[in-house]
Amino acid sequence: MKLLAKTNLFGLTILTLTALLIVVFGTVIINDIVYDLNKRLLSAEMENLVKKVERGQMVLDRSGVGRVRSYVKRMQEELLSDFKIFSFGQTGVLLVIAPPRTVVFPADARSREPVDPQFIDQIVGQKKGFIEGKYGKETRFWVFETVPEWGWLLALSITTDEMFEKRTEYLRYVCLMTLGILVVTAIASSLFMTKLVGRIRKTLSCVRLVEKGDLTARIDPLASEDEMRSLQRGINAMVARIQERTEDRDRAEAALRAAEAKYRSIVENAVWGIFQSTAEGRLVTANPALARILGYDSRGGLIADTTNIGRQWYADPTRRDEFVRILRECRIVHGFEAELHRKDGESIWASLHARAVVDEKGELVLIEGMLQDVTERKRAMEQIRTLNEELERRVVERTAELQAVNKELEDFAYVASHDLKAPLRAIGQLAAWIGDDYAHAIDEPGQRQLRMLLDRVRRMHNLIDGILLYSRIGRVREKHEDVDLRQIVRDAIDMVAPSERIRVSVQEELPSVTCEETRMRQVFQNLVDNAAKFMDKDAGEIKVTCEDDDSSWKFGVSDNGPGIDPKYHDKIFQIFQTLTPRDQFESTGMGLTLVKKIVEMNSGRIWVESEAGKGTTFYFTWPKKGTDA
């Protein structure tokens, strides 16, 4: 049965049951309404009758004869006469019962419609009320009330048939209205269900297209904002998400296939052997490179022949056991070297890198790894070891020879300086004597030549001292100890003794360093002397600073002198090199060379920052931890 027929049948059934319920409950409600309406009408009429009796008594009381029996009786007779023309409905009956139980109205009540004595007994003695009772053969609905002044009991009734005669008419109206509502509702319901089922069919057709794989199918939502529109939009959103996820899955699968092909290509073409094996030694998978390394024509042959890796591959099977033990403990192994046997019996050295694949209990299931043939490297390392031993032997020999040569050079430098200084001293002494003894005989040009000769002798003497000092650096060693640099710098400044026009300032806090005290003093003395010697300002300034440079101390000696052109920054550290004529500034060209050698022998670095006319700053670094270089 189609959905529309089912929904229409279901709706018709609901409407029929609703109509039956309306008729049943309508009948009950109409009975109650009719009953209550007649009750109210009888009560209202009874109230009028009681008021009429009370007005008669009031007239007697106002006339002052309210207690005169004859007047009262006459008033009662007038009222009873008025009651004869009283009527209520089609079957209305009025009874007037006087004490003790005498029906005084109508006068012929006993002969016409005898009153049930039991009925009279039920109402006599009560002030007012409602009751059903027999009057002749009819069952009537009575309303009664007692008039206290005369003791009359007024009872007014109609038959139950008259009381409920409108009920059938009302029920007919109800049934007709219910039938009309039922028909209209059935038609409206059928139209609504037809439209609803149409919308559902439209939605269902889209769902069936999606079920067949057409993820581009969509429902055109209705314009009205209701649950069906929300459902259709929800289905569209759900299909869109399914389409998006399907496309993502397709892309992921394509990427996975590409990655799989890529990594399969990498594994197949790798120069390292790649394998999977069990902990017991069975080979599961291998790539062509592994077969080639182990002397097989194909990996299939390698896998088929290998039943126990430790016994078949390893020269020492215990190394395989050690390899597996490390994997069980560490889950990964890098650079495990072992001697292996190829298929032809040739021995090779291999380096293995592997990781453990474990189950949920932590038990080793598979070993995945790579194997590299390091035979050539091992041979090269053996050759390197042999060469290193030979080199060490030669270094020892050359060191001994070099020490002997250095000793000879030191002796030669000492002897040479001594032998060179002796004639220099003689020449200087002779020139001084000539200048003193023959001063009167030598003219001014001759005196100038003698002074020049003495200057050249002193310069040569200083040059020989500089050479001797340079040769001793690195060969004559002092003990490395912690020294207070502030004291070292003060001593260096005192030895230089700058002129009064030069102000030297030293940073307040200088560190203690581990060094050879004499060499450190030479460094600061040469740098301060260099700054003072070439100062061209009347108010000269020299500053000594220090700053933390991570693992080193960075010292600086700056001045406001003439500066150095950047093109000479390297030249000034070369031996015997000066930037000014020696006749203008006496210099051996050894000072900065000595400083550079001392700093670099202690793992430091020295450089200059300067421009012509803008002063000069020499920087050098000294390691915080002492060096025995």
Reduce the secondary structure of 122-161 to three states and give it as a string: HHCCCCEEEEEEEECCEEEEEEEEEECCCCEEEEEEEEHH
pLDDT at 580 over 70: no
- The total of other beta-carbon atoms located within 10 Å of residue 626's CB is 16
Residue 399 CB burial class (10 angstroms; 0-12, 13-18, ≥19): exposed
* Mean pLDDT over each residue of the chain, to the nearest integer: 81
| pLDDT greater than 80 at residue 415 | no
Instruction: Quote the CA–CA distance of 547 and 555 in Å, as a whole number.
Output: 7
Q: What residues have CB less than 8 Å from 381, skipping those under 6 apart? A: none
Is the model's pLDDT at 576 over the cut of 60? no
Which tokens go with 461? 């003497």
Q: Nearest CA to 621 among 608, 597, 605?
A: 605
* Burial grade of 113 (CB within 10 A; 0-12, 13-18, 19 or more): middle
Say what the pLDDT of residue 628 is.
46
Distance CA 292, CA 272 (A): 10
Are the beta carbons of 588 and 572 closer than 8 angstroms? no
Q: How far apart are CA 339 and CA 351, in angstroms?
A: 9
3-state secondary structure 339-394: EEECCCCCEEEEEEEEEEEECCCCCEEEEEEEEEECHHHHHHHHHHHHHHHHHHHH
CA distance 97 to 282: 125
pLDDT digits (tens, 9 = 90+) for 424-483: 666 767 777 777 777 777 778 877 777 777 766 665 666 566 556 655 555 556 677 888
**DSSP run (H or E) holding 223:** none
Q: Mean pLDDT over residues 50-63, rounded?
A: 85
Handedness of CA 18, 21, 27, 29 (dihedral sign): negative
Identify the band that residue 317 occupies on the pLDDT scale cut at 50, 70 and 90.
Answer: very high
What does the pLDDT look like over 529-559, one tens digit per residue? 888 888 888 889 999 999 998 889 999 999 9
User: Which tens digits make up the pLDDT trace of 141-161?
Assistant: 888 888 887 888 888 888 877
C-alpha 427/C-alpha 142 separation (Å) is: 175
What's the average model confidence in pLDDT over 352-379?
Answer: 91
Higher pLDDT, 63 or 418: 63
DSSP helix/strand/coil, 90: coil
User: Is the link from the previous residue into 99 a cis peptide, with omega within 30 of 0?
Assistant: no
Tokens of 598: 């001392």
Confidence of residue 582 (pLDDT cuts 50, 70, 90): very low
Buried b (16+ CB within 10 A) or exposed e, 454-492: eebbeebbebbebbbbbbebeeeeeebeebebbebbeeb
Q: Out of 75-79, 229-233, 284-288, 571-575, give the one with best mean pLDDT.
A: 284-288
Question: How many whole angstroms separate alpha carbon 341 and alpha carbon 317?
Answer: 11
pLDDT of amino acid 476: 55
Q: How far is CA 102 from the centre of its chain?
A: 104
CB 452 within 8 A of CB 582: no
User: What integer pLDDT is reported at residue 617 of this predicted model?
Assistant: 94
pTM above 0.75, yes or no: no
Q: In this structure, what token pair is assigned to residue 241?
A: 């998400």
Give the pLDDT confidence score for residue 110 in this predicted structure. Answer: 46
* pLDDT value, residue 543: 94
pLDDT score, position 507: 92
C-alpha 45/C-alpha 33 separation (Å) is: 18
- Grade residue 115 by pLDDT with cuts at 50, 70 and 90: low
The predicted model gives 182-197 an average pLDDT of 76
Which of 30, 34, 47 lies closest to 143, judged by CA? 47
pLDDT at res. 357? 93
CA distance 123 to 135: 14
